[in-house]
C-alpha cells in the first residue's frame, strides 16, 4: 500500500503518518526504488491502533507506551491499566474544568441583554473588566 491508501484505510492523514514516523512512534516505512513509502498489513494495524488510541484522547506519549505494551507479548495487563488509569484521571480533570467553564459562560450569557445596548458582561469579563468592577464594589 502507498501512503495515500494506508492513510485512507487507517483514517490517519498522510501528513500525520509522516509525522509519526519522524518522531519514532512508528517504524520508518519500506521504500520503493523511487523512494515512495510502502506499507504492509502490520503497518495498517499499527496505524489503526494509533488512530483508535488518539480518538480516545490518549496523548502521543501515552500512545507510544500503549504501542510498546501491545507489541510486547510478555506485558502485564496491569501496566496497560495504569496508562488507562492516568488517562481517565486526566479526562475527569478536564471534565471538571469544562463544567466550570460552562457555568461561567452560562452565567455571563444570562447576564448579557443581547439587545442594541453596547454594554456586554461577556466582553467585560473577557477584558477583565467584570473582575475590576466586582473588586471596586467590595
Whether the predicted pLDDT of 131 surpasses 80: no
**How much is the pLDDT for 79?**
98
Does any domain span residue 66? no
- Binned at pLDDT 50, 70 and 90, residue 130 comes out as low
For the chain, how many structural domains are there in total? 2
- Mean pLDDT score of the chain, rounded to an integer? 93
71 found inside a domain = no
Q: Is the dihedral of CA 72, 75, 77, 83 positive or negative?
A: negative
**Domain CATH code at residue 8:** 1.10.1660.10
68 assigned to some structural domain = no
Amino acid at each position: 500500500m502507498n501512503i495515500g491508501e494506508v492513510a485512507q484505510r487507517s483514517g490517519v492523514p498522510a501528513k500525520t503518518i509522516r509525522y509519526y514516523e519522524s518522531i519514532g512512534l512508528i517504524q520508518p516505512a519500506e521504500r520503493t526504488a523511487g523512494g515512495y513509502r510502502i506499507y504492509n498489513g502490520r503497518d495498517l494495524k499499527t496505524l489503526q491502533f494509533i488512530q483508535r488510541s488518539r480518538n480516545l484522547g490518549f496523548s502521543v506519549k501515552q500512545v507510544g507506551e500503549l504501542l510498546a505494551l501491545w507489541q510486547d507479548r510478555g506485558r502485564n495487563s496491569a501496566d496497560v491499566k495504569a496508562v488507562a488509569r492516568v488517562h481517565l484521571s486526566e479526562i475527569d480533570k478536564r471534565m471538571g474544568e469544562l463544567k466550570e467553564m460552562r457555568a461561567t459562560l452560562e452565567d455571563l450569557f444570562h447576564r448579557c441583554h443581547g439587545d442594541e445596548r453596547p454594554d456586554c458582561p461577556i466582553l467585560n469579563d473577557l477584558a477583565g473588566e467584570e473582575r475590576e468592577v466586582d473588586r471596586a464594589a467590595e
